[in-house]
Amino acid sequence: MTEQAPDASVFDSIDPALKVVSAELDVAAPVAAVFELIADPARQPEWDGNDNLGAAVDDQRVRGIGDSFVTTLTKGVDRENHIVDFAEGRLIAWKPSEVGGEPFGQKWVWEIEPSGEGACLVRHIYDWTELRDPQRLPRAQSTTVSNLLASLKRLKQLAES
């Protein structure tokens, strides 16, 4: 007897509170320096705490909602990331998809708040409330606060150096 993959209704049985994971960290660096590390996709593999990003070509700096950028995952697959929220120096959020495709439903959010002279609070959020592909469920559920903190700690180290 072969096991059948769950259908999209499996998402309805999951507590919505479990579909949003967030972490935050104080960074002793200017808001603009931190934001630049996030908004320039070529820099993202340097701080990716999921060890999922292999590379991104230069000259894809994000400037606003509707932009997109392509990253190559460590397993060699390209992902197009669609910017859905943006405020220069404060907020950037994207939803990944196959290149040329519709977003899968996960959203990666970065919020930056000034917290003093040359310092800021950086919040990282992974939101999969709109995810409906059962094959992506295990990966979504395995993205935890510790994954987000790993990215934040690497980002902090880069920004402060």
| More confident site: 129 or 8 | 129
Q: Looking at residue 10, what is its pLDDT?
A: 81
Secondary structure (3-state) at 23: strand
- Please list the residues that pair with 122 across neighbouring strands: 25, 112
60 closest CA partner among 47, 34, 79, 87: 79
Banded model confidence at residue 7, pLDDT cuts 50, 70, 90 = confident
Banded model confidence at residue 11, pLDDT cuts 50, 70, 90 = confident
Domains, the chain, in order of start with CATH, read: 19-160 (3.30.530.20)
| More confident site: 36 or 49 | 36
Whether 5 shows a pLDDT value over 80: the answer reads no
- Please list the residues that pair with 114 across neighbouring strands: 120
Global confidence as pTM:
0.90
> pLDDT per residue over 74-114, tens digit each?
999 999 999 999 999 999 999 999 999 999 999 999 999 99
- Within 105-146, strands assigned E span 107-116, 119-127
Q: Looking at residue 81, what is its pLDDT?
A: 97
Q: Looking at residue 14, what is its pLDDT?
A: 84
Q: Look up residue 45 and give its two tokens.
A: 């593999």
Q: Look up residue 145 and give its two tokens.
A: 């606060």
Q: Looking at residue 6, what is its pLDDT?
A: 61
> pLDDT per residue over 115-156, tens digit each?
999 999 999 999 999 998 888 998 899 999 999 999 999 999
User: What is d(CA 148, CA 155) in angstroms, rounded to the nearest whole number?
Assistant: 11
Q: Look up residue 13 and give its two tokens.
A: 């049985």
